[in-house]
Amino acid sequence: MKIEKEWTTKAGLKATVIATDMGHRCGYVSVPNDHPWHGKTYDEAALDVHGGLTYAGMRDDLWWFGYDCAHFGDARDPELMREELKAIMSAFSADKGEIRSLDFCVNECESMAWQLKEKA
């Protein structure tokens, strides 16, 4: 895994997009300790984000909510994959979905941040 982008969203919350070795991106947005959703599970947090929330947890003294781009209809980005995985994955699956770009994930994080800010 590698961090593709870390920034402060327009809503003032920290965000991160991570690229996985399997070729998918994941996006995360944090809330501070005094946010009413701090400590909520991803099942308890009703946010409209690509594929739905798939993560909630503590990191760096902040509570993070996250989603991934590894759902039906999401294709792997071969540029993100480790070389040894490219051959293995191509032999077992044909990605016919859409590659979710860094820009796509940044926009999803920005949207999630505004939703979280409205809940504060």
pLDDT tens across 12-61, in order?
A: 999 999 999 888 999 999 999 999 999 999 999 989 999 999 999 999 88
pLDDT tens across 45-58, in order?
A: 989 999 999 999 99
Question: What's the pLDDT score for residue 1?
Answer: 85
Query: Please, what sign has the CA dihedral across residues 100, 105, 111, 113?
Result: positive
CA distance 72 to 113: 24
Read off the pTM: 0.90
